[in-house]
Structure 1
Amino acid sequence: MNDPISKFKLLGLTFNIGNMVSVTVAAVFVFLFVFICSRKLQVIPSGKQNLLEMIVDFTNGIVNTSVEGAKAKAYGLFAFVLFVFIFISNQMGLLFQIDYNGVAYVKSPTSDPIVTLTLAAITLAWAHFAGVSKLGFKGYFSSTYLKPFKLWLPLNVFEELANFLTLGLRLYGNIFAGELLLGLLSKLALGYGVLGYIPSVLVAMIWEAFSIFIGSVQAFVFVTLTFVYISQKIQPEE
């Protein structure tokens, strides 16, 4: 987190150029993936279309697990885009990283807490919006903050804040830790010659494979928790 960053200010706000570039690159990869896999669609899928439909079915399954019946259809596209974006973002820093003058301009966007907390804020904001749309503000406020007792209001407010922090920081912590260790292994390989290079490369290969697995799991966990929170807002317990 102490790595140098490139930034600029606009209207009193500070923008991290590296994060902006990395998020844009991840979004372009998502678009290209969907665009390439959705060309020449067939009734009986095969190849690229089969992969795309497998992911759609997978994310629809996540939604259907938390959200009941017809309500789930409204969230299918969001779940798909969110999962693919986070999955690609988690893997970017493992596959390549572009630095200039010591500043990382292309990396895993999710290795920065600002990005992951922003994703958490977006998903939880949608959850609260969905609750208000479904139940009205009075019903939403009562089911979210006044259950099981009105005196639970402070604890329920704290729970909402904790949901926001844990959703974002869990993703950040896992991705940042994986890339940090890979960076340390790279320095070890370069700093101790052949004696350090060979074991470092072997350990790095094992850790990179494990990090790819962790990145995939974290994308699944983030999307799953997102729809657990949404279901809590639109399907409150009696």
Structure 2
Amino acid sequence: MDHESPMLYDLWGIPWLDFNLATVLMTFITCVIVFFICFFASRRLQMKPKGFQNFMEWIIDFVKGIIGDTMDWKTGKVFLPLGLTLIVFLFISNILGVITMVTFGHTLWWKSPTSDATLTLSLSTMVILLTHYYGIKVKGFKEYTKDYVRPVPFLLPFKIIEEFTNTLTLGLRLFGNIFAGEILLSLITKMAMIAIPAFAFSIIPMLAWQGFSLFIGAIQAFIFTMLTMVYMSHKVSSDH
């Protein structure tokens, strides 16, 4: 897929401050979609949920399960909004490129925001910073810093490196899977546009890959949210 998207370079005269306008646009669209999904799901709450409310409550229970598998609920309940926001935002972001490509075809503007490493690494950095914030908030600064020299002070450099690698792996895993999926889908689409016989040949793998891309989008949203809660558990739980 051609990801040479429209860029805004040297914003405000700062040489390194560049913006991918396509990523900014698609991130904004994703946020709007997530807002309306949550708005319509919670607009008319009922004691006996049905329809869209029932679907959203299933997602909430699913996120509760993720948190419950990584830490006790008394400690982890405060992270429910974070987990719910991440899994919904990432799922919409991951599949948006597939939907827009089918609808609008191959363009420079329509793509998944998470096919941009800048966005995924920004999300992973935000997650790691949040784990430090809540770790200090729950344990206190002095007790929290002691975790870096336990059980032996020799581990301090390795634990610092671990924070860096966690940031990279969390962001690059998401980026790599979504970017690679869009590359292959774009190649299949271009194959279909060469000639009518090629279209007949490629329509089946195109549909199959679109379905697989939806599956990958859901799995990657789950993995990112799960790892976020695992990293958070390591910081806030006293048994780590």
What TM-score bracket applies, with the shorter chain setting the length? Answer: over 0.9
Distance in 1 separating the partners of 2:31 and 2:83: 15
Distance in 2 separating the partners of 1:149 and 1:5: 50
Residue 82 of structure 1: aligned partner: 86
Distance in 2 separating the partners of 1:207 and 1:83: 22
Instruction: Verify: 1:140 aligned to 2:141, yes or no.
Output: no
Deviations 1:142-198 (A, max 9, x none): 21x22332111111111111100000000011101110000011111112x122111
Please point out which of 150, 159, 174 is paired with 1:171.
Answer: 174
Shift of 1:10: 2.8
Distance in 2 separating the partners of 1:121 and 1:57: 26
Q: Which amino acid aligns with 1:6?
A: M
Distance in 2 separating the partners of 1:42 and 1:199: 49
Cα root mean square deviation, aligned: 1.9
- Structure (1 or 2) with the greater strand fraction: 1
For 1:105, what is the secondary structure of its paired residue? coil
Q: Which amino acid aligns with 2:6?
A: I
TM-score by length of 2: 0.92
Aligned length: 235
For 2:109, what is the secondary structure of its paired residue? strand
Asked if structure 2 preserves the Cα contact closer than 8 Å seen for 1:3 and 1:103, the reply is no
Please point out which of 187, 190, 206 is paired with 1:187.
Answer: 190
Shift of 1:11: 5.7
Please point out which of 206, 221, 234 is paired with 2:236.
Answer: 234
Q: How does 1:43-58 map to 2 (within 5 A)?
A: 43-58=47-62
Residue 117 of structure 2: aligned partner: 113
Asked if structure 1 preserves the Cα contact closer than 8 Å seen for 2:131 and 2:231, the reply is yes
Instruction: Verify: 1:131 aligned to 2:124, yes or no.
Output: no
Unaligned runs of 5+ in 2: none
Shift of 1:103: 6.5
Unaligned runs of 5+ in 1: none
Q: How does 1:3-42 map to 2 (within 5 A)?
A: 3-8=4-9, 9-10=11-12, 12=14, 13-42=17-46
The percentage of counterpart residues that share the same residue type is 38
Residue 203 of structure 1: aligned partner: 205
